[in-house]
Chain A
Amino acid sequence: MGRARPDPDDFLPLRPLDLHVLVALSERDRHGYGIVQTVAECSDNKIRLAPGNLYPVLRRLVEAGLIRDDGERLAHDLEHKQRRYYAITTLGRRVAAAEAVRLKNLLEEQPVRALMKGWSRG
C-alpha cells in the first residue's frame, strides 16, 4: 500500500516568509545568503532576513517536505567558500503554485480590486 500523496491545499494559506523562500528556491538551488538576497530583491528590500529568522523557517520547510537540504558545496558567488544549499521539492513547487493561485484569486475579488484602485489614486 503506497503512501497517500499529500494535498498541497493542506498547507494553505502559507506564511508570507515561507512563500518568499519557496519562490526564491523555485528558480534554482540557493545557499542561505542567496535566499536572503533573492527575498530582499523580490520584496523591494522590505523583507530583510537575518540568520536568526531564516534558519527556523528553512528547518520548518524541510520538516514539512517542501524543500530539502542539498548538502554543502562550493559557492561560486562567495569566493568558492563551502556553503549549504537548499532545493525545492516537487511538493514544495506544487504548494507554492497553489498559494500563488490562491493569492491571484484573492486579488481578483471585487473588494480587493476596489482597495487597490483607491491606493493607486491616493
Chain B
Amino acid sequence: MTSLWCRVYHLFLSLYPPGLRHRDGHDMLRLFSDLVEAERRMRGPFAASRMALRLCGQALPGAFGAHWVARKHHSRSSRVRVERPASVHSWVDNVTLDLRFATRTFRRNPGFAAVTVLTLAIGIGATTAMFSVVNGSLIRPPPFSDPDRLVMVYLTRSTSGESPRRGRWSYREFEILRQSATVFDQVAAYNVPDFNLGGDVPEHMEGEVVSAAYFDVLGITPALGRNFVVEEDVTPGSHPVAVLGHALWRRRFGGDSTVVGSTVRINRIPMTVIGVAPQGFRGLSGRADLWIPEAMGPLASYHGQLTDHQHFHNVVARLRPDVSLQDATAQLKLIGTNIAAAVEHEGDAQWSATAWRLHDARIDSTTRRSQLLLLGAVGFVLLIACANLVNLLLARAESRHREITIRLSVGSTRGRLVRQLITESLLLSLVGGMIGVALAYSLVDALAAFVPQRSPSSALTDFAAIGVDTTVLAFATAVSVGTGLVLGLAPALRATRPGHAGALGLRTHGTAVDRGSVSTSGLLIVAEFALAAILAVGATLLLTSYVRLQTRDVGFDPDNVLTFWVQPPLAQYRGDRAPVLMERILTEVAQTPGVETATVSLCTPLMGCSTRSLQIVGREWPADQGAPIVGRHYVAADHFRTLGIPLLRGRALTAQDRAGRPGVAVVNETAAHTYWPNENPIGQRILLGIDDPIIASDSTFEIVGVVGDVQYDAIDGHYEPEFYTSYLQFTWPYAFVMIKSAEPLELLVPALRRAVAAVDSEIPIHDVQTLRQRVGASLSRSRFNAVMLGGFATLALVLAAMGIYGVMANFVARRTPEMAIRIALGAETRNVLGFVMGRGLRLVSVGVAVGVVGAIGMGRVLRSLVYEVSVTDPRVFVAIVAILAGVAVAACYLPARRATRVDPMQVLRTE
C-alpha cells in the first residue's frame, strides 16, 4: 500500500521546481515512505492513508512556495535581469492566485472536493488502465528498428466465392519469392519447431529455424558473437551453428561469455554457438530460445524442411525505403501468379501473394474489435461520471451565486471569474487524474495477466507489452485536462451569465427555479441513462454468450483427462519410425499405474487441428471449387473412449489397424452428413492430402465408423468435418498424449515423465495441463470481454443511479416552497409523490429509449463477439429496461418521499 502512495506522491513531486526535484526529490520520496510506513506500523493502514493524504495535500502549497522562492532566487542571482513582459507576470501571478484560492475553497468544503476527486480518479483510472491495454497491444509498434518497413508476406489461396485466405509458404515457393522480389531490402523465412537441448537434464524448448537474413531483416544485433552469414544457409547440413536466446544463455550457461565457440547438442546434433541474441528478443514467435539456419533444418529439425511441399514457412521482409506497401503488393501479386505456374498445387484454387505490415499482421481483428469496444465502454463510464460531476458543479455554482455576484459587482470581469472557476475544476480533475494514474499503475498488472493471450501456437506474437508508458501518461493528462475543461466550462459560463447574476442579494434559497440549469441537468440525466442502457445491453449480450459457451456441448468429456506434449526430433524419427516410437511411448504410458486409457493425437479439442484436402474415390469435385479441406487426426484405438466421444455407427479404430494392413478411417457425424447426405459413408474410400501412409495396397482409406461431433476449432466455432485414422498407419513423430484417470491427475505426472524417459531419455514431456484447463483457456477471451464489460456496465448503472438521485434531491430541495404550497392547498401524498417521481422517470424513460436505439446500433459491433446470441434479442432489451426502470424508481423514491414530508407551515414561515 505504501508503494501505491509513493507513486501518488511521486506525481505530486513533479509539481516542484526541477532544481529542487533533481537534488532532493529522491530523499523527499524516501522520507514520505518512512513517515507513511511508521504511521502504518504504529496506528494501522487507515491512519497511514490519512497521513499520506495529508502529505500529498501539503505538497501542493509546498510546491507553490518552492516555485516562489526559486523565482525570487533566480531574479536576484541573474546579473542581467531578463525582464518578462508585464502580461506574463500578471498571468503567472493570476494563476498562482487562482490556484491558492481554489485550494482554500476546497479545504473549506472537503467533502465536495473528495467526492469529485474520487469519482474522477475512478473514471480516469479505469480509462487509463484500459487505454494502456489498447496502447500495449494495438498502438505501440513492434519493438524493432524502423518497424513501419517490416512486412509479413503471405501466399494467398482463394476458391471461387471465397475471399482469399492468407497462408504460409513451402521452401521452394519462398526461394522463388526471394529471387524475384525487388521491392524488399531483404526477405527471410522462419518456422517455429520444438527442440530438445541435450545435457544432464534434457530441456524442451521452442526455437526458430531461420534464413540467414532473419536477424538483419529485423535489425537485431546480437549481444555476443555474430548473426548467421549467407554461406551458413546454403548447403544443407554443412554449417552446424546456432544462436542462443539471452534468457537461455543466462539460465543454462550462467551468462558465460566464452559460450561463443562452444558446442551444444540440439536434437542430438552437436552445434557451435556463434552468438547470443540481445536481451528480450525471442523472435517473431515471441517464444524462441534458440535459432538455427534453414540449411540445418533437415538435420536438426525436420528432414523435409527444404523439400516438403507443405506450407509451413512464415516469411518476413523489410521494404526498400523507396517502395510503398501498394507497390510491394502489386509486385507480389505477379510473383504469386508465377509461383502458381511453377509449383504444382492440389485443387484448383487461385494462388497469389500479398504483404501486411507487421504492425497490422500481429493483431487479429477480433482482439482489435474487443479491445476498442472495451475502451469505448470505459469511455462511456467516464462520460457518465462527468455528467454527474457537471450536475454537482452546477448545483455548487448555484449555491455560490452570492459570492459570484459580489465579485462581479466589485469590478471582477466575467473572463476573470470564468478562469477562476475553470482553474478550480482543472485542479480537481488533475488531482483526480494523478490518483487515477496511480490506480491505473496497480490495475495494469492485473489486467495484463487477465488479457487473453494470442493462441500459443501462432508463429507471430502480438508483441503486447501492457504497461504505463509516456503515451499512456500523455493520454491520461489529456483526458484529465479535457475533463477539467468540460466540467468547468458549462457551470462557469452559466454562473457568470450577466442576466443570471444581476440583482445582488435578491435571490434567497431559490423560489425562482433557474430553467436553464434544470434543463441542462435533465439532458445530462437523459444522456447518462442512454449510455448506461447501451452498456448494460452490451454486457448482458456478452454475458449470455459467455454462459452459452460455457454450457455448450463440445462433444467430449474434458474431466479426468491429462494432456502433455512429447516432441522427439523429427529428423531422427521420420517415416515409418514415427509410429514405432509413438507406440512404444503409448504402451509405456498406458501401463503407468492409475492410467485407464491413453491416446495420442496432434491436437486437443478447442485448439485447432491440422487439415488436409479430401478426395473421395469415384467422385469429382466441381472444377471451380477444388477439393474441400477437412480436419485430420492421427489417433490411437482408445481415442474415442479417452475423450468420451460416442461411436454412432460401424466400428472404432483398433490396435490391429497398423502398418501394412488395409487403411481405415473413422469420420464424424458432420462429415457423414456433408459428404454422404443420402448414403451410408461406411465402406466409402477416401484419400487425404499428401501424407504418405504405410498401408497395404493403394493410399486410400476405407471408412469403417462414424463418431459424434467434437469442437476442435475455437469454442465459438461450428462443428467441421473430421477424419480420424490410426496413428499406426501414419503419424508425425510428435503428439499430444492424453490419458484418462480417476486418480488426481497432477500426482501422475512424475510417473508419466519416467514412462516417456524409459523409451528415450532425451525426450522430455512438456506443456502438461488437464483438458479442463485447456477448455478454460479457450474461454479466456469471451470471459475477459464479459467480465470487463459487465464491470463497466455495473459501474455505469451505479453512477447513473447516483446521478438521478442527486438531481432529484436537488430538484426537491429547490421546489420545497412549491411543494409546501401544494400540500397546504390540499394536495395528497400520492400527488406529490407522483409529481416528483413523474419528472424523474420521464427523464429516465427518454434516456433509456435513446439508449435502446443506440444499443441496437451497437449490435453490429457486437455481432462478431457473441456466440449464438441474437444482438437484438427482445428479452435482453426488456430485461435491461426493467432493471434501469427499477434503479431509477428506487433512486427517485427517496427524494420524492422527502417532498411528501414537507411541513407547509414551517416552510412558508421561513420564506
Q: Give A contacts to B, CB under 8 Å.
A: 32-33, 36, 50-56, 58-59, 78, 81, 83-84
- Are A52 and B28 CB-contacts (below 8 A) given A59-B20, A59-B23? yes
Q: Which of A51, A56, A59 contacts B31 (CB 8 A)?
A: A51
State in angstroms the CA–CA spacing of A32 and B38 once bound together: 13
Return A92 CB to nearest CB of chain B, in Å: 19
Hey, what's the 0/1 contact readout for B26-46 against A, CB within 8 Å counting as 1?
Answer: 011111101100100000000
Return B57 CB to nearest CB of chain A, in Å: 9
Residues of B contacting A51 with CB < 8 Å? 9, 27-29, 31-32, 35, 55, 59
Q: Nearest B residue to A84 by beta-carbon distance?
A: B27
Q: Which of B23, B38, B55 contacts A52 (CB 8 A)?
A: B55
Residues of B contacting A78 with CB < 8 Å? 34
Query: B31 and A54: CB pair below 8 A?
Result: yes
State in angstroms the CA–CA spacing of A36 and B20 once bound together: 19
Query: B24 and A55: CB pair below 8 A?
Result: yes
State in angstroms the CA–CA spacing of A54 and B23 once bound together: 13
- Are A32 and B65 CB-contacts (below 8 A) given A55-B20, A56-B20, A59-B23? no
State in angstroms the CA–CA spacing of A53 and B27 once bound together: 13
Residues of A contacting B63 with CB < 8 Å? 52
Q: Give B contacts to A, CB under 8 Å.
A: 9, 16, 20, 23-24, 27-32, 34-35, 38, 54-55, 58-59, 61-63, 65-66, 69
State in angstroms the CA–CA spacing of A69 and B61 once bound together: 25
Instruction: Pick the 4 closest A-B CB pairs, nearest first.
Output: A52-B62, A51-B28, A32-B31, A33-B34
Return A35 CB to nearest CB of chain B, in Å: 9
Query: A33 and B23: CB pair below 8 A?
Result: no
- Are A55 and B34 CB-contacts (below 8 A) given A50-B55, A50-B59, A50-B62? no
Query: Apart from A50-B35, A54-B31, A83-B27, what 14 extra A-B contacts exist at CB < 8 Å?
Result: A32-B30, A32-B34, A36-B35, A50-B32, A50-B62, A51-B32, A52-B16, A52-B55, A52-B63, A52-B66, A55-B27, A56-B69, A59-B23, A83-B34
Q: Which of A36, A53, A58, A83 contacts B58 (CB 8 A)?
A: A53
Query: B28 and A55: CB pair below 8 A?
Result: yes
Query: B31 and A36: CB pair below 8 A?
Result: yes
Chain B interface mostly helix, strand, loop or mixed?
A: helix
Return A38 CB to nearest CB of chain B, in Å: 13
Residues of B contacting A84 with CB < 8 Å? 27
Return A57 CB to nearest CB of chain B, in Å: 11
Query: A33 and B35: CB pair below 8 A?
Result: yes
State in angstroms the CA–CA spacing of A54 and B35 once bound together: 13
Residues of A contacting B27 with CB < 8 Å? 32, 51, 55, 83-84
State in angstroms the CA–CA spacing of A101 and B15 once bound together: 39
State in angstroms the CA–CA spacing of A33 and B787 once bound together: 44
Most B-side CB within 10 Å, residue of A51, A53, A56, A58: A51
State in angstroms the CA–CA spacing of A53 and B29 once bound together: 13
Query: B54 and A50: CB pair below 8 A?
Result: yes
Residues of B contacting A58 with CB < 8 Å? 24
Query: B24 and A59: CB pair below 8 A?
Result: yes
* A–B Cβ pairs within 8 angstroms, 17 of them: A32-B27, A32-B28, A33-B35, A50-B35, A50-B55, A51-B27, A52-B16, A52-B28, A52-B55, A52-B63, A54-B28, A55-B28, A56-B20, A56-B62, A58-B24, A59-B20, A83-B30
State in angstroms the CA–CA spacing of A32 and B62 once bound together: 17
State in angstroms the CA–CA spacing of A59 and B23 once bound together: 9
Return A56 CB to nearest CB of chain B, in Å: 6
- Are A33 and B31 CB-contacts (below 8 A) given A51-B55, A59-B23, A59-B24? yes
Residues of A contacting B16 with CB < 8 Å? 52
Residues of A contacting B58 with CB < 8 Å? 50, 52-53
Return B77 CB to nearest CB of chain A, in Å: 12
Q: Nearest B residue to A82 by beta-carbon distance?
A: B30
Return A65 CB to nearest CB of chain B, in Å: 17
State in angstroms the CA–CA spacing of A78 and B69 once bound together: 32
State in angstroms the CA–CA spacing of A83 and B62 once bound together: 22
State in angstroms the CA–CA spacing of A104 and B29 once bound together: 37
Most B-side CB within 10 Å, residue of A50, A52, A54: A52
State in angstroms the CA–CA spacing of A83 and B58 once bound together: 22
State in angstroms the CA–CA spacing of A58 and B27 once bound together: 11
State in angstroms the CA–CA spacing of A78 and B38 once bound together: 9
Q: Nearest B residue to A51 by beta-carbon distance?
A: B28
Q: Nearest A residue to B63 by beta-carbon distance?
A: A52
State in angstroms the CA–CA spacing of A36 and B35 once bound together: 9
Return A8 CB to nearest CB of chain B, in Å: 23
State in angstroms the CA–CA spacing of A55 and B63 once bound together: 11
Return B642 CB to nearest CB of chain A, in Å: 56
Q: Nearest A residue to B27 by beta-carbon distance?
A: A84
Residues of B contacting A55 with CB < 8 Å? 20, 24, 27-28, 31
Residues of B contacting A33 with CB < 8 Å? 31, 34-35, 38
State in angstroms the CA–CA spacing of A111 and B60 once bound together: 39
Residues of B contacting A83 with CB < 8 Å? 27, 30, 34
State in angstroms the CA–CA spacing of A84 and B24 once bound together: 10
- Are A56 and B34 CB-contacts (below 8 A) given A50-B55, A50-B58, A51-B55? no
Most A-side CB within 10 Å, residue of B31, B35, B59: B31
Return B487 CB to nearest CB of chain A, in Å: 27
Residues of A contacting B62 with CB < 8 Å? 50, 52-53, 56
Return B609 CB to nearest CB of chain A, in Å: 56
State in angstroms the CA–CA spacing of A59 and B62 once bound together: 14
Return B259 CB to nearest CB of chain A, in Å: 35
- Are A52 and B59 CB-contacts (below 8 A) given A59-B20, A59-B24? yes
Return B21 CB to nearest CB of chain A, in Å: 10
Residues of B contacting A52 with CB < 8 Å? 16, 28, 55, 58-59, 61-63, 66
